[in-house]
């Protein structure tokens, strides 16, 4: 599982940063990518990666500001000619998303060669995709904006091969059958499969925010606690707390202070204002804790499986 930041700018693009687009790479786990927000020129950024548009089957829009959605119509059109023919795609986002896309395609007379389903969500919505659940939380922005919490289901532990051999079961397809069962029979004896499995492998949790002021509530904190990775906006970096608040955005030190007790393993801050020159950002990064990153375009972070 990887986080790929393909657009890391806030509001306006700069020469080195494009507007918002995040890929949650679940290819090894689910054989697909989850796309979160689709800023302008997203499909151009995609050309510089090995990501296949045909493996983007689910898109999550945090909110309807242009720097998060203006690349969506272009990407949907291009996907129709990049291996997406006939492959269904589902888009989740705030109320108004369906009307905007429908009008855009009607006016431009765009016809897609694959089915698209638009699901307008709200606070508390719960989504299930294969072995991943996604919980939705409303944030504090000047339009409706969402946090998406991606949580892998827990997995059964590894089979204890030596223990199976001890009771006379040799390696083969039966091992998979045993792992998928609650009990199994060998030589007339009924065995509990759990007795032959290692510890449960805990699912990973990734929390990806739309634009927001820093939140402080127990419900919100519970969603973030023990997360493997939190992706949060940091439009402001230089202690400009009041300005961040007045613009419904966040300042990085404020977020880290508020969330200091949540046991988050790693933070990625994105949505960086173009007021900050890259030299300033490079020096600023050196002042941060080792578990905090500031994203740039094409930033990639591996979320290792829990042991």
- Active-site positions read 67
CA-wise closest residue to 303 among 67, 16, 22: 22
- Helix H, strand E, coil C: the string for the chain is CEEEEEECECCCCCCCCCCCEEEEEEHHHHCEEEEEEECCCHHHHHCCCCCCHHHEEEEECCCCCHHHHCCHHHHHHHHCCCCCCCCCEEEEECCCHHHHHHHHHHHHCCCCCCCEEEEECCCCCEEEECCEEEEEEECCCCCCCEEEEEEECCECCCECHHHHHHCCCCCCHHHHHHHCCCEEEECCEEEEHHHHECCCECCCEEEEECCCCCCCCHHHHHHHCCCCEEEEECCECCCCHHHHHHCCCCEHHHHHHHCCCCCCCCEEEECECCCCCHHHHHHHHCCCCCCEEECCCCEEEECCCCC
User: What are the Cα distances from residue 84, in Å, to 26, 52, 80, 114, 256?
Assistant: 18, 9, 5, 7, 40
């Amino acid at each position: 599982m990887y986080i790929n930041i393909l657009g890391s700018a806030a509001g306006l693009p700069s020469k080195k940063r494009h507007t918002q687009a995040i890929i949650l790479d679940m290819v090894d786990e689910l054989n697909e990518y989850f796309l979160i927000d689709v800023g302008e020129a997203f499909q151009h950024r995609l050309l510089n990666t090995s990501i296949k548009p045909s493996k983007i089957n689910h898109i999550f829009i945090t909110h309807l500001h242009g720097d998060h959605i203006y690349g969506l119509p272009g990407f949907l059109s291009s996907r129709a000619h990049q291996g997406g023919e006939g492959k269904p795609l589902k888009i989740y986002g705030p109320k108004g998303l369906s009307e905007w896309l429908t009008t855009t395609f009607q006016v431009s007379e765009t016809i897609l060669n694959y089915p698209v389903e638009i699901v307008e969500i709200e606070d508390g919505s719960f989504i299930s995709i294969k072995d991943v659940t996604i919980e939705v939380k409303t944030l504090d922005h000047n339009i409706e904006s969402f946090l998406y919490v991606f949580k892998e289901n827990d997995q059964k532990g590894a089979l204890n091969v030596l223990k199976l051999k001890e009771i006379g079961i040799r390696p083969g397809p039966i091992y998979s059958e045993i792992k998928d069962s609650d009990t199994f029979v060998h030589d007339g004896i009924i065995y509990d499969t759990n007795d032959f499995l290692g510890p449960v492998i805990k699912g990973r949790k990734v929390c990806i925010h739309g634009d927001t002021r820093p939140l402080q509530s127990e419900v919100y904190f519970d969603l973030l606690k023990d997360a493997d990775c939190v992706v949060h906006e940091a439009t402001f970096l230089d202690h400009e707390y009041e300005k961040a608040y007045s613009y419904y955005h966040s300042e990085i030190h404020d977020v880290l202070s508020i969330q200091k007790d949540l046991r988050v393993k790693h933070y990625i801050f994105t949505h960086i204002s173009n007021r900050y020159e890259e030299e300033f950002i490079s020096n600023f990064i050196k002042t941060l804790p080792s578990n905090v990153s500031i994203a740039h375009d094409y930033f990639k972070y591996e979320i290792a499986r829990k042991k």
